Amino acid sequence: MKVIATAKYLRLSTRKTRLVLDAVRGKQVDVALDMLEFINKKPARPVAKLVRSAIANAINNFQLDKNSLKVKYITADEGGALKRWMPKAHGRADLIRKPLTHLTVVLEGESIPTQKKSTERKKTEIAASGKESAVAKADTTKKAVGRKVVTAKSVTKTKK
């Protein structure tokens, strides 16, 4: 399964950010985070934060196993620029562009195997043995026992 996380309008140079992204592309997430911790570049910190966000999305929203997560795809795209002016000689003004970057991370991993509930296991065992009527009886008895009807009389009796 694939999990996507994005960070937009980061005040980073796209070209310099791509140098950091090339180091972690295709790596396991724990290895990628270790590498990002020791890369001495400004974009390393926001990229690590985005990878951690993608890991949290994968675990909490999609129940994926953290050990199986891998950085499948990671890109830095241009996000426009802030335009500023710098005074120059002879009364001129020069344009300064402060670039913005959009980051996208796609993680790929496997889901955590879930255990079947005991009632589901019993149903599958009964169905495998060929006793279809027992499955129907098990469902009806559970519903009848599981439902509790509260009447006005029972509420008044419990208050006394």
Q: Are residues 101 and 134 in the same domain?
A: no
Residues 135 and 57 in one domain: no
Q: Please check whether residue 4 is in contact with residue 54, taking contact to mean a CB–CB distance below 8 angstroms.
A: yes
Residues 102 and 123 grouped into a single domain: no
Average pLDDT of the residues in 13-38 = 95
Residue 75 lies in a domain: yes
Q: Are residues 39 and 77 in the same domain?
A: yes
Is the pLDDT higher at 86 or at 125?
A: 86
Same domain, 23 and 62: yes
Q: Assess whether 140 and 101 both reside in one domain.
A: no
Q: Quick one: pLDDT at residue 150?
A: 46
Task: Give how many domains the chain has, as a whole number.
Answer: 2
Question: 142 and 72 in one domain?
Answer: no
- Residue 42's pLDDT band (cuts 50, 70, 90): very high
Residue 156 has pLDDT above 50, yes or no: no
Q: Global pTM?
A: 0.67
- Decide if 97 is inside a domain: yes
Residues 77, 140, single domain; the answer is no
User: How far is C-alpha 90 from the chain's CA centre?
Assistant: 54
**Structure token digits, residue 10:** 């980061």
Residue 31 belongs to a domain with what CATH number? 3.90.470.10
Residue with the larger pLDDT of the pair 86 and 139: 86
Q: What is the mean pLDDT of residues 7-28?
A: 95
Same domain, 41 and 103: yes
CA 53, 56, 57: angle at the middle one, nearest 5?
Answer: 85
User: Is the domain of 99 the same as that of 141?
Assistant: no
Mean pLDDT over residues 11-30, rounded? 94
Model pLDDT, residue 12 = 94
Domain limits for position 132: 118-159
Q: Is a pLDDT exceeding 90 seen at residue 36?
A: yes
Query: DSSP character for 115?
Result: P
Higher pLDDT, 125 or 7: 7
Q: Is the pLDDT of residue 11 over 90?
A: yes
DSSP 64: B
Q: With CA atoms as reference, report the closest residue to 20 among 32, 10, 8.
A: 32
62 and 134 housed in the same domain: no
In a domain, 113, yes or no: no
First to last CA, the chain: 57
Q: Rounded mean pLDDT of the chain?
A: 82
115 — phi, psi (to 5°)?
A: -85, 140
The answer to whether residues 1 and 111 touch, using CB atoms and an 8 Å cutoff, is: yes
Q: How many CB atoms lie within 10 A of CB 21?
A: 19
Does residue 88 sit in the same domain as residue 123? no
The tens digit of pLDDT for each residue in 96-151 reads 999 999 999 999 988 777 665 555 666 666 666 665 554 455 554 444 444 444 44
Residue 95 CA, chain-centre distance (Å), reads 40
